[in-house]
Amino acid sequence: MKSLRYFVTLFVATSFIGLQAQTDQVVVDSVTTDMVVVLPWPQNVQARLDTLMLDPLLESTQLGLMVYDLTADSLLYSHGAKQTLRPASTMKLLTAVTAIDLLGGDYKLNTSLRYKGTVKDSVLTGDLICVGSLDPMFDANDMRAFVESVKGLGVDTIRGRLVAAPSFKEEDLFGEGWCWDDENPQLSSLLVERKDEFMTVFANRLRDAGIVVEAPITTAPYEKDALMLCLRSHKLKEILVPMLKESDNLYAEAVFFQIAGSQTARPAKAAHARQLIKRELSKASVTGIAYRIADGSGLSLYNYVTPELMVKLLCYAYKNTKLFMQLYPALPIAGQDGTLKKRMTGPYTNGRVKAKTGTLTGISSLAGYLTTANNHVLAFSIINQGVLKNADGRGFQDKVCTALCEP
């Protein structure tokens, strides 16, 4: 004989998924009554989520889901939360949390112009040396400042070398496990306008400014006795916003290598960043959970996490006030900006869901925070794996968030 909970759940389920109810009666142990049972929080939300677990999408795909009530400090819902799944761009949360905690928002990514040699009769006899740290924000204005600093020396001719000092990171321009046919960012220590064309553009801008360049472009180790001519910097907190709101892969990989280089090891290697992210996860009480870190952006097919891991990380960030104050404003806001601008625009979710999206072929994910109708703050992670249409995964995630946000 069916229990009251079964029929109440079925009734709420029928209403929530939009099916036309034929009756407002609830059956209790074969007794018919006209009374409709209204479940209290959080049983009402749990009943809605139980209903979504009947979605046909889950018959042919994998789902990992965990929701934690930060206000009540208790687990609200879990389904397949220990499954190891590909995170796609929600991987950027691991990178962001580690970077904020380890480096701080005011940490600077520097690109410098230095020189060695002598200046006589408006001629620099020596080298112009460019030293980069994989700053994804270095642009035409920064390059203009480089050129102006050369002119400021009173130089109209350069006789020597234009030297790229790529000592900041390992030589690999692509991440482990990246697909060769994706639009992958190039991970060069020296970038201008996101491209690995720094030295060529520098030489051309010098010539455009009327400076005679009688100097070949070459690569050489950085010489510490070279004199500083110009320094351009961008702060980590400037990079976090496009990294998370727009899911910018280059920005995420740049931050990944700042983590790697934070212990002064040169060249910075992906392996260094992985070790430090693992250390951060240990601080977030991630123990006894299977996972694998390959890159900082989620592009790699070798990344594996669990929804439980993601939620533990989000809980840790929430409880660390300084960390949370820098992470939370950088997340996409449902119905308002970033990769969530056109999603969850309804009255209960608009502006109340702040979360990182993730999309790869066959993977759709969402992880972050939301505020419920009764003002509970929840941390959640949803990973849909094996979805042939990513729109199906996004649609399911939007239903989950709506179920959580509604009264």
What is the residue type of 157?
T
Greater confidence (404 vs 12) lies with: 404
Q: Which of 220, 240, 308, 210 is nearest to 95 (CA)?
A: 240
pLDDT value of position 261: 92
pLDDT value of position 223: 80
pLDDT value of position 35: 60
pLDDT value of position 40: 94
C-alpha–C-alpha distance, residues 328 and 85, integer Å = 24
Long-range (24+ apart) CB contacts under 8 A made by 287-290 are 289/82, 290/84
Region for 117 from its dihedrals, namely left if φ exceeds 0, alpha if ψ lies in -120 to 50, beta otherwise? left
Torsion over CA: 223, 226, 230, 235 (sign):
positive
| pLDDT tens by residue, 40-66 | 999 999 999 999 999 999 999 999 999
pLDDT value of position 12: 41
pLDDT score of 182 more than 90: no
Q: Which of 195, 192, 212, 197 is nearest to 146 (CA)?
A: 192
pLDDT value of position 32: 47
What average pLDDT score do residues 357-384 get? 97
pLDDT score of 247 more than 60: yes
pLDDT value of position 34: 53
What average pLDDT score do residues 287-307 get? 96
pLDDT score of 257 more than 80: yes
pLDDT value of position 36: 61
Q: Could you tell me if 380 and 372 are in contact, meaning their C-beta atoms sit under 8 angstroms apart?
A: no
Q: Could you tell me if 12 and 39 are in contact, meaning their C-beta atoms sit under 8 angstroms apart?
A: yes
Confidence of residue 328 (pLDDT cuts 50, 70, 90): very high
pLDDT value of position 14: 43
Q: Write the secondary structure of the chain as one string of H (helix), E (strand) and C (coil).
A: CCCHHHHHHHHHHHHHCCCCCCCCCEEECCEEECCCCCCCCCHHHHHHHHHHCCCHHHHCCEEEEEEEECCCCEEEEEECCCCCECCHHHHHHHHHHHHHHHHCCCCEEEEEEEEEEEEECCEEEEEEEEECCCCCCCCHHHHHHHHHHHHHCCCCEEEEEEEEECCCECCCCCCCCCCCCCCCCCCCCCCECCECCHHHHHHHHHHHCCCEEECCEEECCCCCCCEEEEEEEEEHHHHHHHHHHCCCHHHHHHHHHHHHHCCCCCCECHHHHHHHHHHHHHHCCCCCCCCECCCCCCCCCCCEECHHHHHHHHHHHHHCHHHHHHHHHHCCECCCCHHHCCCCCCCCCCCCEEEEEEEECCEEEEEEEEECCCCCEEEEEEEEECCCCHHHHHHHHHHHHHHHHCC
What average pLDDT score do residues 187-209 get? 96
pLDDT score of 222 more than 60: yes
| pLDDT tens by residue, 13-40 | 444 444 333 333 333 344 444 566 789 9
| pLDDT tens by residue, 58-104 | 999 999 999 999 999 999 999 999 999 999 999 999 999 999 999 99
pLDDT score of 154 more than 70: yes
Confidence of residue 226 (pLDDT cuts 50, 70, 90): very high
| pLDDT tens by residue, 267-288 | 999 999 999 999 999 999 999 9
